[in-house]
Amino acid sequence: MNWRAPLAFLAAGLLLWLLPWLRERLDFPVFYLIFLYFIFFWIAQASSWNMLSGYSGYFSFGQGAFYGVGVYTTATLVDKLGVSFLASLPVAGIIAALLGLGVGFAVFRLRKLRGELFALLTLAVALVVAAVVRNLDIIDGGYGVPLGQVPYPAFLGDYSAMLYRLGMIVALLTVFVAYAIQHSRLGHGLFAIRDDEAVAEGLGVPTFRYKMTILAISCFFAGLSGGLHALQINYVAVESVFNIRVALFVILMSILGGRRHWLGPVLGAIIIYTLSDRFSSVQLEFLNQIIIGSLLIVMILFVREGIYSRLQRRLWFALGLFALVLLVQVFGGIGARLISQVAVAMLALIAVLLVPEALYQKLFGWVGRHAKV
Amino acid sequence: MLKCENITKKFGGLWALAGVDLSVAEGEIVGLVGPNGSGKSTLINVISGHYAPNAGRITFRGGDITARQPHQITRLGIARTYQIPRPFQTMTAFENVAVACMFGRSREAVADAQQNALHWLEVTGLGACANFPLEKLNLHQRRFLELARALACGAELLLLDEVLAGLNPTEIELSMAMIRGINERGVSILIVEHIMRAVVSLSHRIVVLDQGEVIAEGVSQQVMRDPAVISAYLGKDYARDH
């Protein structure tokens, strides 16, 4: 890794930091900040899941548990113990990481471990944690935790700007760590574990230590992002926090985007959240489920590497079409909101990327040949 | 260099290894032969740390490695190959070897590993296949890739598990020359092999296993004439008649 990557992430962070300020000047709706906060939330969650499950191949169904532990750590610290909100965030990450280490210690020490066992155990942990939280009065006890007006430092801006900015920082941090891991010794070791764990161990990869390390890092970011999300939820309740939604969505996003590359879950999170937000805004949630469900089936059967690697190979054609569809809508006055127009353009982009390789070469091969960089 | 004393390994009620003693000296090629099910592969798995023995002691250069994890044993300088090649399927040949450079004895940094991986591919004659996806490599090339990875680990003792099986005569000649070349670089070798002609010609010394016990040991040509060995391979009647 060179110095350019951290600088690029830092520059992106600074630019994004200025957006709420720009919004006040240009007077576009607050809705966009909230929307972007949710994008950042899902990017952080999906990247956190992917650095464990995508890189190492151990499928986790317990993202919801680690996220939920983060939510409740912040809720408990802020509401019951009077800890400041910002200080509670790293604690939320650490508590989630400790839970992850506990799970890992139980399951990774078995010599004959298979992935199914890990998947089942993480699913079970989510159920157990929910039951514990529901029944412990000190945490929730079944009443829910209202967070109401939580004080925060003034430099973060108004409430939605604050959520947006913190969400952006957490997302960028998570993605940067995912990027750094992919290019590090740890990442190469994890990829080897994913392909063949026994061989990896035989070539000198300390498999137990690496699995524990990545589990802790992954859970830390799940908890950190969850802790921040507690403020967005505002009224924290067991049923809304510990449902299967988070665990399923992060898997969906990573499978759609691609699990071999740090950008895969980022891409998946942006696309899936945008689409489901748009569909539910026009009361078409059932259609959303059908589309996302069938997309998942197509991805698993035909595009196992995810759309990111296809996007790399069809970059100019796909981006060109995306821009074209977007511009036609904007200038043609089709659709009410920019986000809806973006969502439609995204569908066009996905359609291009789903075209099988052979057919694509036959139809559009000339694009690649002419626009080769 | 390597010393196994009284190694015992039980699977359920079956004694896969019933007190095996075996040693490999610096620079030596030791052939490990025996009928199917005699415990050869089990012994390789025990030495490399993949199975924990029920009893016995293994030392490498004087240090006890009996209870060590496989990755620790690799870092001490013992590397193995698999009978059925097990390359990392989603990586290129080059990336496969780079992993070994990164995690083997020398623990190279990512950037260094990517330079040295090519060196080991060239040593094993795979330089031209560096960026091939795995499915383009044939069995012979996959076996050499196993060798390249084991060497890239910085191995001083190689455990070769049937590297010649399934190869054609030309490939066998090539592989034997390769194994001799590796030995001449100062790497000691413990080789499990079914092809007698090859193992007799390669090995300085042969150890014969049968039903988890060492039944003969010594210089290649003599061992193969030992009545116990003939009887293990071809049955008692054959041994008595000849």
Across chain B, which has 242 residues, the per-10-residue mean pLDDT values are 94 90 95 90 93 94 91 95 92 94 90 89 90 88 93 94 90 93 94 89 92 88 80 70 61
- Residue A371, pLDDT score: 47
Q: Is A47 touching B (CB cutoff 8 A)? A: no
pTM: 0.91
DSSP secondary structure of chain B: -EEEEEEEEEETTEEEEEEEEEEE-TT-EEEEE-STTSSHHHHHHHHTTSS--SEEEEEETTEE-TT--HHHHHHHTEEE--SS----TTSBHHHHHHHHHHHSTT---HHHHHHHHHHHHHHTT-GGGTT-BGGGS-HHHHHHHHHHHHHHTT-SEEEEESSSTT--HHHHHHHHHHHHHHHHTT-EEEEE-S-HHHHHHH-SEEEEEETTEEEEEESHHHHTT-HHHHHHHH-HHHHHH-
Residue of chain B minimizing CA distance to A209: B71
Interchain CB contact of B70 with A (< 8 Å): yes
How far B121 CA lies from chain A's nearest CA (Å)?
A: 16
B144 in Cβ contact with B124 (< 8 Å): yes
Cβ atoms < 10 Å from Cβ of A42: 26
Whether the CB of B153 is below 8 Å from some CB of chain A: the reply is: yes
Report the alpha-carbon distance of residue A199 to residue B89 in Å, rounded: 11
d(C-alpha A50, C-alpha A48), whole Å: 5
Chain A hits for B82, Cβ within 8 Å: 199
- The reply to whether A240 touches chain B by the CB within 8 Å rule is no
User: Across the interface, do A196 and B88 touch by the CB < 8 Å criterion?
Assistant: yes
pLDDT of residue A171: 98
- The two structure tokens encoding residue B60: 């490498």
A55: left (phi over 0), alpha (psi -120 to 50) or beta: alpha
Chain B residues with beta carbon closer than 8 angstroms to that of A191: 88, 90-91, 99
- Of residues B16, B54, B13, B18, the one with CA closest to residue B36: B16
Which residue type does A371 have? A
**Helix extents (H) in chain A:** 4-17, 19-26, 31-49, 55-56, 63-75, 85-108, 115-135, 159-182, 185-195, 197-202, 207-233, 238-241, 245-257, 263-281, 285-302, 307-313, 315-332, 338-354, 357-370
* Cα–Cα distance, A257 to A276 (Å, whole number): 16
Which segments of chain A have a pLDDT < 70? 1, 111-113, 366-373
Q: Could you tell me which residues are beta bridge partners of residue A108?
A: none
How far, CA to CA in Å, does A49 sit from each of A95, A216, A300? Answer: 17, 11, 18
A264 chain-B contacts, CB cut-off 8 A: none
Q: Which residues pair with B79 in a beta bridge?
A: B158
Q: Does A191 contact B86 at a Cβ distance shorter than 8 Å?
A: no
Q: Do B91 and A195 touch (CB under 8 A)?
A: yes
Helix (H, G, I), strand (E, B) or coil at A258: coil
Does A204 contact B at CB distance below 8 Å? yes
DSSP-assigned letter for residue A146: E
**Domain residue limits, chain A:** 1-243, 246-373
Q: Which residues contact A171 (CB under 8 A, 6 or more apart)?
A: A40, A41, A43, A44, A47, A225
> In the prediction, which pLDDT does B236 show?
67
Nearest chain B CA: its distance from A261 CA (Å): 13
| Residues of B in Cβ contact (< 8 Å) with A184 | 110
What pLDDT is recorded for position A373?
39
**Does the CB of B111 have a partner CB in chain A at under 8 Å?**
no
For chain B, the domains span 1-77+161-242, 85-155
Task: Give the Cα separation of B103 and B88 in Å (integer).
Answer: 14
Phi, psi angles (nearest 5°) of residue A188:
-60, -40
Instruction: Compute the nearest-CA separation of B134 from chain A (Å).
Output: 12
Does the beta carbon of B99 lie under 8 angstroms from any beta carbon of chain A? Answer: yes
Distance CA B38, CA A99 (A): 46
Decide if B196 touches A, using CB distance below 8 A: no
CA distances from A317 to A220, A305, A325, A353, A367 (A): 38, 19, 12, 10, 7
CATH architecture for segment(s) B1-77+161-242: 3-Layer(aba) Sandwich (3.40)
β-bridge pairing B2-11 and B55-60: antiparallel
- Measured between CA atoms, the residue of chain B closest to residue A182 is B110
CA distance A197 to chain B (A): 10
Cross-chain residue pair B70–A201, CB shorter than 8 Å: yes
The amino acid sitting at B164 is L
Q: A51-87: per-residue pLDDT in tens?
A: 999 999 999 999 999 999 999 999 999 988 989 999 9
What does the block give as tokens for B128? 């031209």
Q: At what angle do helices A159-182 and A31-49 cross, to 10 degrees?
A: 30
Place of tokens 């920082």: A169
Contact criterion met (CB < 8 Å) for B105 and A204: yes
Query: What is the pLDDT at residue A71?
Result: 96
pLDDT in tens, A293-343: 888 898 888 888 899 988 988 888 899 999 999 999 888 887 778 888 898
Contact B68/A at CB under 8 A:
no
Alpha-carbon gap, residue B164 to B83, rounded angstroms: 9
Instruction: Give contacts of B70 with chain A, Cβ < 8 Å.
Output: 198, 201-202
Residue B239's Cβ-count burial label (10 Å; 0-12, 13-18, 19+) is middle
Nearest-Cα residue of chain A relative to residue B151: A203
> Which positions in chain B touch A194 (Cβ < 8 Å)?
90
* CB-facing half-sphere around the CA of A222: CA atoms within 13 A: 33
